Amino acid sequence: MEFIKYEIQKGDTLKSIAEKYDLDANEMKIFHNENCGITGIILNDDLPLHLKYILINKI
């Protein structure tokens, strides 16, 4: 499995990151949560303030 470790920029949202990679935001969140570890989990549609990276499935 290959993935992209995307560095979250100021103003990024889950939806805006998903749009950059032509992905569904919910599917991207599920992939990230399955592969990130407990402290990096995204619980809703907002990116946690402490999160610096999001893992994206490389298609």
Q: What is the pLDDT of residues 10-59, one digit of tens each?
A: 999 999 999 999 999 999 999 999 999 888 999 998 999 999 999 999 87
Give the per-residue pLDDT at 2.
85
d(CA 20, CA 23): 8
Classify burial at 45, counting beta carbons within 10 Å of its beta carbon; exposed 0-12, middle 13-18, buried 19 or more. exposed
| Cα gap 36→29, rounded to integer Å | 10
Query: Tokens 């993935």 sit at which residue?
Result: 3
Q: What is the pTM of this model?
A: 0.88
Residue 46 near residue 14, CB atoms below 8 Å: yes
Secondary structure of residue 22 in the 3-state scheme: coil
